[in-house]
Copies of this chain bind each other. A is one copy, B any other.
Amino acid sequence: MKNIGIDLGGTNIAIGIVNEDYSILKKGSVPTDSHRPWQDIVKDMASLIEKLMKETGTTMDEIKEIGIGSPGTPDIEKGVVLYSNNLGWDMVPLREELNKYIDKPVYLDNDANCAALGEFLAGAASGLDSAVILTFGTGIGGGVILNDRIWSGFNYAGGELGHVVIKTGGQPCTCGRNGCWEAYASMTGVIRQGNEAADAHPESELAKLRASGTKLNGRNIFEVAKAGDDVAQQVVDQFIFYIAEGVVNVINIFQPEAVVIGGAIANEGDYVLEPLRKYAKRDVFCKQVKLPQIIRAKLGNDAGIIGAAFVGDYQSKKTM
């Protein structure tokens, strides 16, 4: 049997037919074009599924179930996206609509949870019983898997690990609070910190790069630091410490077997992971026990497809 995983993003809908061993038989994508009616988006999902099945000679009998990872807050029992800021959605019944085209069980979860589940089943955290997967991009996404199940709260709105205040009264966050981890340890955070440092040190290479017309971003701030600019290095060191503050918080809270680091920051590999491990060793509350592993995400964008494909089997149910 095979499952179908749908990773619904703000830009693209990525869909894969996924084998029982979590390998992707075939995947494809179409633009989301999120401004159109959601009915049209679901119709495109169904068409892409049909196309992928045709191309691989997969029959409907071979499909066990379909999973959708969507931005926003899902009602996993009803298969409805309650609310998505990203897509501008309110109460969109994805399960019911997709079932108009394909008569298979359809499961729905948050996209970050699906990506986390993908890493848990087939990626960096494969073989473990618990893991917290963090994705560092414009914001910080989190997926929490405990006792082999996604934990997302009684109202499916949990796991918002980027919105843990680490500096009370600090930088304004998009969520309306001040001092969220996301405001410091995301790409948005490091770019702000880089610009502040460039303002304060016009003699630095970082300031010169910016003066040449290049916008600062995570990648070039790291590059200038590695090339020897002290100012950029301080920005990077402080940024890694901010990441560590939240990672140590996650460990003190959850003590999962692994903390998996994904997103742009994961590309820096041990340059970031090694200091994180040192901070964790130094700063965790309980130093007498084995520490969680801090490891790099493995699957990239495929995590969302693979996780969505199997999400129906890993959602927390009240009957657990």
Residues of A within 8 A of B (CB): 73, 82-83, 129-130, 144, 146-149, 151-161, 163-169, 175-177, 179, 184, 241-242, 245, 248-249, 252-257, 282-286, 288-292, 316, 318, 320
Q: A73 with B167: in contact, given A253-B160, A316-B147 (CB under 8 Å)?
A: no
Question: Bound state CA distance, A25 and B213, in angstroms?
Answer: 77
Report whether A318 and B157 are in contact in the complex, using a CB–CB cutoff of 8 Å.
no
Question: Bound state CA distance, A176 and B285, in angstroms?
Answer: 8
Q: A153 with B256: in contact, given A165-B249, A168-B167, A283-B177 (CB under 8 Å)?
A: yes
Report whether A158 and B252 are in contact in the complex, using a CB–CB cutoff of 8 Å.
yes
Q: Within 8 Å CB of A288, what residues of B?
A: 73, 82-83
Q: Within 8 Å CB of A158, what residues of B?
A: 252-255
Report whether A249 and B164 are in contact in the complex, using a CB–CB cutoff of 8 Å.
yes
Expressed in whole angstroms, the minimum distance between the Cβ of A189 and any Cβ of chain B is 12
Report whether B165 and A255 are in contact in the complex, using a CB–CB cutoff of 8 Å.
no
Specify the chain B residue showing the minimal Cβ separation from A161: B253
Besides A83-B288, A175-B285, 6 new A-B residue pairs in contact (Cβ under 8 A), listed by A number = A130-B153, A147-B151, A152-B255, A155-B289, A160-B253, A161-B253
Q: A154 with B166: in contact, given A147-B320, A160-B252, A289-B73 (CB under 8 Å)?
A: no
